[in-house]
Amino acid sequence: MTTTAPPERATGAPGAGDAYTAAQAAQDAGAAHGTRTLRVWRGAGGTGAFTEFTTDVVEGMVVLDAIHQIQAEQANDLAVRWNCKAGKCGSCSAEINGKPKLMCMTRLDELPTDAPITVEPMRAFPHVRDLVSDVSWNFRVKPQIRRFTPRPPDAPDGTWRMRQADVDRVQEFRQCIECFLCQDVCHVLRDHHKHETFAGPRYFVHAAALEMHPLDTADRIPELRQAQGIGYCNITKCCTSVCPEHIAITDNAIIPLKERVVDRFYDPVGRLVQLFRRKSPAH
Ligand code: SF4
Ligand code: SF4
Ligand code: FES
């Protein structure tokens, strides 16, 4: 970040006299100020080009702040999707310097200062406009995974008994914010366009949360092998490396599911055992 004097704050702005604004002004005055150049993808329907914008920045800003500032001051029609600005809604996914990331969780000072910062839409999905991709395919995949199907209650009062360790095992998968960064980076979708035959890492996480749930009785293994195409995954771990929730997608979800597929379909002893241990069919 190049350092310059802080810009003068506007006077007479709404709330300019309140304690919060004064505290914010004091904090800004003590922070490093400068400028950064962003190369932002502009265009619609898969066509477009990078446009360069230089904007004032202050220490602590994230890429989404800079995009909002550009939108406010230089490109009012710039399309960008966001919601929480807290890394929890999964809306602001984009490719920053070529890597899938959340714009609201990527600080400008984490990015190299010797070149402009590139910001592009996720490329594994159809482009809508500027930084917005159409991720609706993901929501059509989700219903293809069999729903949670609990066994009958263990006690007459309608409650169940579970070991804490079994409950804990699936909690990791439930952290998913559906940002689809893992889907974006996966070469099976991004480069080979297997959207019709491959559910993708986000949905293997979802399937694992259900398959490993201690109460669940549904059998998802044949569909994971066939319709959801888990065999296409060659465990590159790219999905794990971009997950903002640090879910061990490959090690804890995909590999155990692949092992279940192998045990069921390719291991003769396993198949015999499964005949006796198979879960009851889904309702
Ligand atoms: S590990 Fe599998 S699912 Fe994850 S990015 Fe690689 S091929 Fe895709
Ligand atoms: S598994 Fe991680 S990267 Fe994939 S959608 Fe969920 S939070 Fe995003
Ligand atoms: S705006 Fe919600 S995750 Fe970034």
Same domain, 147 and 269: yes
pLDDT of res. 18: 83
Same domain, 221 and 269: yes
Question: How many C-beta atoms lie closer than 10 Å to residue 147's C-beta?
Answer: 11
Q: What is the pTM of this model?
A: 0.87
pLDDT-derived band of residue 245, with 50, 70 and 90 as boundaries?
very high
CATH number for the domain that contains residue 152: 1.10.1060.10
In a domain? residue 179: yes
The DSSP-derived string for the chain is: ---BPPPPPPSS-TTTTSHHHHHHHHHHHHS-EEEEEEEEEE-BTT--EEEEEEEEEETT-BHHHHHHHHHHHT-TT-----S-SSS-S---EEEETTEEEEGGG-BGGGS-SSSPEEEE--TTS-EEETTEE--HHHHHHGGGSPPP-BPPPSSTTS-----HHHHHHHHGGGG-----HHHHH-HHHHTT--TTT---HHHHHHHHHHHT-TTB----HHHHHTTT-GGG-----HHHHH-TT---IIIIIIHHHHHHHHHHHT-HHHHHHHHHHPPPPP-
Range of the domain at 124: 19-133
Same domain, 149 and 115: no
In a domain? residue 159: yes
Same domain, 60 and 90: yes
> In what order do the strands lie in the sheet containing 99-102?
49-58, 33-42, 117-120, 93-96, 99-102
Same domain, 60 and 126: yes
Beta-carbon contacts of residue 244 (< 8 Å; ≥ 6 apart): 87, 101, 102, 105, 177, 179, 181
Q: Whose CA is nearest to atom 8 of ligand 1?
A: 186
In a domain? residue 10: no
Of 137, 275, 261, 110, the closest CA to residue 193 belongs to 137
In a domain? residue 1: no
pLDDT of res. 271: 64
Same domain, 156 and 119: no
Q: Which sign does the torsion angle of CA 46, 49, 53, 58 carry? A: positive
Same domain, 37 and 71: yes
Choose between 127 and 6: higher pLDDT.
127
Instruction: Please identify, among 133, 151, 170, the residue that sits at the C-terminal boundary of a domain.
Output: 133
Q: Is 104 in the pocket of ligand 2 (CB under 6 A)?
A: no
> pLDDT at residue 219 above 70?
yes
pLDDT, tens digit (0-9, with 9 covering 90-100), for 159-217: 999 999 999 999 999 999 999 999 999 999 999 999 999 999 999 999 999 999 999 99
Same domain, 150 and 121: no
Same domain, 213 and 273: yes
Same domain, 46 and 173: no
Instruction: Please identify, among 72, 105, 133, the residue that sits at the C-terminal boundary of a domain.
Output: 133
In a domain? residue 72: yes
pLDDT-derived band of residue 28, with 50, 70 and 90 as boundaries?
confident
Q: Are 93 and 102 in contact (CB under 8 A)?
A: yes
- Mutation test of ligand 3: which of 65, 82, 119 has the most ligand atoms closer than 8 Å to its C-beta? 82
How many angstroms is it from 232 CA to the middle of ligand 2? 19
Same domain, 69 and 153: no
In a domain? residue 245: yes
The Cα-based distances of 229 to 103, 181, 189, 193, 277 in angstroms read 30, 19, 11, 13, 24
Choose between 282 and 100: higher pLDDT.
100
> pLDDT at residue 16 above 90?
no
pLDDT of res. 269: 66
How many angstroms is it from 90 CA to the middle of ligand 2? 8
In a domain? residue 13: no
d(Cα 221, Cα 146) in Å, to the nearest integer? 10
Exposed / middle / buried, residue 200 (Cβ in 10 Å: 0-12, 13-18, 19+): buried
Instruction: Please identify, among 86, 103, 133, the residue that sits at the C-terminal boundary of a domain.
Output: 133
Task: Give the nearest ligand 2 atom to 90 CA.
Answer: 8
Q: Could you give the number of structural domains in the chain?
A: 2
In a domain? residue 282: no
How many angstroms is it from 116 CA to the middle of ligand 2? 27
Q: Is 162 in the pocket of ligand 3 (CB under 6 A)?
A: no
Ligand nearest to the CA of 182: 2
- Mutation test of ligand 1: which of 122, 249, 255, 257 has the most ligand atoms closer than 8 Å to its C-beta? 249
pLDDT-derived band of residue 230, with 50, 70 and 90 as boundaries?
very high
> pLDDT at residue 282 above 50?
no
Q: Are 6 and 36 in contact (CB under 8 A)?
A: no
- Around 243, how many Cα atoms within 13 Å sit in the side-chain half-sphere? 21
CATH number for the domain that contains residue 30: 3.10.20.30
Same domain, 167 and 99: no
2-11, 55-64, 148-157, 198-207: which has the minimum mean pLDDT? 2-11
